[in-house]
Amino acid sequence: MRLKDKVALITGAGSGIGWQTAQLFAREGASIVAVDINDKAGVACVVEINSSGGSAVYVRADVSRAVDCYNMIAAAEANFGKLDILFNNAGISHADDDDAINTSEAVWDLTMAVNVKGVFLGCKYGVPALQRAGGGSIINTASFVAVLGAATPQLAYTASKGAVLAMSRELAVIHAGENIRVNALCPGPLRTELLMKYLDTEEKKQRRLVHIPMGRFGEAEEIAKAALYLASDESSFVTGSTFLVDGGITAAYVTPE
């Protein structure tokens, strides 16, 4: 098993990428701290892991609050004795996120609080735990829009993911000498609830698919497999990377006929 005897904390574990990653990491031998703000979803994730022979605990946390982030890290060490893997995955994409003219200050502030401050606070309290464990891996969920402008305006989300990418690079440089690796995982368009709630007609889906050379949306499980690589010792020389898993969308100027 690729994560045998490791302890992994995953935020946003109640759905999408977080859920799939928690299940996969558990199958690969990790003990899981599943973090979410949705108690029902977070508990369901843990029940699924434990009923399948894994080991997991649920911690409720709003990642935009310092006390919650402190407590989730403390829970990892209290329950499992250490922390080896920190997956700062929780994020939001607000329905009212638009261009600079039409995005409200409230939507901007909320998006930044969850998507950027949440990663900062996870690292603020998580890095000392990794130091105590002798090193480890931090994975921060960014997005393909961190390197490619979105044609459909979502300015707060795009800016927040750019910030996560820049923050990940700097953290990687700062902590490289401490056996702590930090990478930004950048998914392309996925067939998850987060995106499909916007692409709610076949026409909208096709408008997005035409830009993806592989001609389909990615699956959360495929991103979880990329996260597994970054979490495992197989990526021991990988840090500070912009780890794109996007079906080729950022490589394409136009898609083939």
Domains, the chain, ordered by start: 7-241 (3.40.50.720)
Paired strand residues for 60: 36
Quote the CA–CA distance of 223 and 189 in Å, as a whole number: 11
Token pair belonging to 117: 């401050």
- pTM for the whole structure: 0.96
Phi-psi label, residue 4: left if phi above 0, alpha if psi -120 to 50, beta otherwise: beta
Task: Give 54-117 as a 3 state SS string.
Answer: CCEEEEECCCCCHHHHHHHHHHHHHHHCCCCEEEECCCCCCCCCCCCCCCCHHHHHHHHHHHHH
For residue 250, give Cα distances in angstroms to 13, 57, 142, 220: 27, 37, 14, 18
Q: What is the pLDDT of residue 156?
A: 98
Quote the CA–CA distance of 92 and 160 in Å, as a whole number: 10
Tell me the average pLDDT across 62-71. Answer: 98
**How does pLDDT run across 216-250, given as a tens digit for each residue?**
999 999 999 999 999 999 999 999 999 999 999 99
Which residues, other chains included, contact 101 with Cβ-Cβ below 8 Å and sequence gap of 6+?
A: none
Which residues, other chains included, contact 73 with Cβ-Cβ below 8 Å and sequence gap of 6+?
A: 9, 83, 122, 125, 126, 129
The SS3 assignment for 232 reads coil
Which of 70, 125, 157, 253 is catalytic? The answer is 157
Q: Give the DSSP letter string of 36-57.
A: ES-HHHHHHHHHHHHHTT--EE
Tell me the average pLDDT across 112-117. Answer: 98
Quote the CA–CA distance of 116 and 122 in Å, as a whole number: 10
Q: How confident is the model at residue 198 (pLDDT cuts 50, 70, 90)?
A: low
The whole-chain average pLDDT of the chain stands at: 94
**How does pLDDT run across 140-193, given as a tens digit for each residue?**
999 999 999 877 889 999 999 999 999 999 999 999 999 999 999 999 988 877
Q: What is the pLDDT of residue 224?
A: 98
Quote the CA–CA distance of 155 and 217 in Å, as a whole number: 22
Whether the per-residue pLDDT at 207 is higher than 80: the answer is no
Token pair belonging to 48: 């699924």
**How does pLDDT run across 76-109, given as a tens digit for each residue?**
999 999 999 999 999 999 999 999 999 999 999 9
Q: Is 157 a catalytic residue?
A: yes
